[in-house]
Amino acid sequence: MTESTETERAPGAKLDELRSALDVLAMGPRHQWTDVRQVAGTLAPLVWDELKARGLWDKLPEHDHAAMYWALADGHNVATAPAPDPLRLARLISEVAHFAEECEHPWSRRRWPEAKPGRSADGTEAVALQRQFTALSPGWMTEILRRMEPPREPADWERDQRRAERPPLSVALATATDAMKRYESPPAPVSYDDRSSETSAAVVGRFTRFPEEWRVEILRRMAAGGSPLHLIAEGAMSINILHSEFRVSLAWCARPLPAHP
């Protein structure tokens, strides 16, 4: 992994700018979208600069690097979006507040209320989820990603109104791990579950091409409810944005998962 070097800035001022920018965004309805997106585009670079200025960037775990890089891409996407994207903007705000809190830890909680409680623990848990997922057979990997896709809501006219479930990722992985110990294969989907195993098998192939730290970040977002198909497409797009807009190059196809015995 390589990234362009940038003149280090003195710590402190960037967080003040970030706090002011977040305060502006908190009054979003009072501003035109063009103004909101301009401010939003500054958020991730500000906290990224601050992490480097404080000497914290190289001390962060690799999965936090992936999360910060994804926030940079999110900021670029918001800044260039022709129409409001409230979900992406909210996610961006939460992530940059989390990293700002990391800069000022342990004195920062009152200053960055936008940070998600337990966000650091979510990252640590995702590392464990990645280890569990990697230990699965290809068939169970496919089944896990299939079941993590949001199930379709039945139409009003359909006779069968049952809805397939989407279990928590940690529960699904634990169930799969136990089943593998008993040499059990993934069960066939129930009749009202039309999520495709063929699609999920292709998604597994794409997922395993990401660097490990990006797989951890994808699983963290998946555990929060994200669609594997969408997250993997978004992750690939984020890596491309990093290269084109921030001069960060990742050898993201260089470390595939080993074949399961």
Query: 126 with 205, same domain?
Result: yes
- Both 86 and 132 in one domain: the answer is no
Tell me the per-residue pLDDT of 97-109, one tens digit each, with 9 for 90 and over. 999 999 987 765 6
Query: What mean pLDDT comes out for the span 176-193?
Result: 94
Residue 257 belongs to a domain = no
Residue 249 pairs with which residues in a beta bridge? 2
For CA atoms 155, 160, 162, 166, the dihedral sign is negative
Strand partners, 2: 249
Tens digits of residue pLDDT in 204-255: 999 999 999 999 999 999 999 999 999 999 999 999 999 999 999 886 654 4
Same domain, 136 and 239: yes
238 and 129 housed in the same domain: yes
How does the average pLDDT of the chain come out, rounded? 89
Tally of structural domains, the chain: 2
Given a cut of 50, is residue 5 above it in pLDDT? no
pLDDT at 64 over 50: yes
185-197 pLDDT, tens digit per residue, is: 999 998 888 899 9
Helix (H) or strand (E) holding 166: none
Lowest model confidence (mean pLDDT) among 67-76, 122-131, 247-256: 247-256
> Do residues 202 and 108 both lie within one domain?
no
Residue 195, in any domain of the structure? yes
> Per the domain annotation, does 61 fall within a domain?
yes
Residue 199 within any structural domain of the chain: yes
Residue 195: domain span: 120-152+163-245
Tokens of 121: 């623990």
Q: How far apart are CA 62 and CA 66, in angstroms?
A: 6
Answer whether 46's CB lies under 8 Å from 21's CB. yes
Question: E-strand spans in the chain?
Answer: 2-3, 248-249
Asked if 143 and 79 sit in the same domain, the reply is no
**Whether residue 124 sits in one domain with residue 101:** no
